[in-house]
């Protein structure tokens, strides 16, 4: 089984689509500062306790800061039968619409 990797520029296509859930694996503080529109935050440190609560009917797109943690999380989900996409280069590679704090 291989993990489907997508370039960060393709994320805009998935924003707001009901069948896809975008998950930001960065720390809460990083997420609150800026994140991809419609992404939910599950910090990587909490990943193992949170991923069993995910819906098998959804497809998940994972990203972290640079792509390493999201790849590890994607491998775990794939082993457990989830449909996964992982973002090449992570948040650092994304140049599309972001939600940012008003600091």
Q: Which domains does the chain have, with CATH numbers?
A: 4-94 (3.40.250.10)
Q: Please report the pLDDT score of residue 41 as a whole number.
A: 96
Statement: residue 103 has pLDDT above 70: no
Confidence band (pLDDT; 50, 70, 90) for 101?
Answer: low
CB–CB of 92/66 below 8 Å? yes
Cβ distance 74 to 84 under 8 Å?
yes
CA proximity to 99, closest of 4, 7, 10, 15: 15
Average pLDDT, the chain: 90
Catalytic residue flag (residue 64): yes
Tens digit of each residue's pLDDT (9 = 90 or more) over 17-36: 999 999 999 999 999 999 99
Per-residue pLDDT tens over the stretch 38-80: 999 999 999 888 888 899 889 999 999 998 999 999 999 999 8
Question: What's the pTM value of the predicted model, to 2 decimals?
Answer: 0.91
- pLDDT at position 102 is 53
Catalytic: which of 39, 64, 84, 85?
Answer: 64
């Amino acid at each position: 089984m291989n993990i489907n990797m997508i370039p960060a520029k393709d994320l805009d296509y998935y924003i707001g689509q009901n069948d896809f859930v975008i998950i930001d694996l960065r720390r809460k503080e990083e997420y609150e500062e800026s994140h991809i529109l419609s992404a939910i935050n599950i910090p990587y440190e909490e990943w193992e306790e949170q991923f069993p609560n995910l819906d098998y009917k959804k497809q998940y797109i994972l990203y972290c800061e640079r792509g390493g943690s999201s790849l590890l999380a994607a491998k775990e989900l794939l082993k457990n039968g989830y449909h996964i996409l992982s973002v090449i280069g992570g948040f650092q590679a994304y140049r599309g619409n972001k939600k940012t704090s008003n600091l």
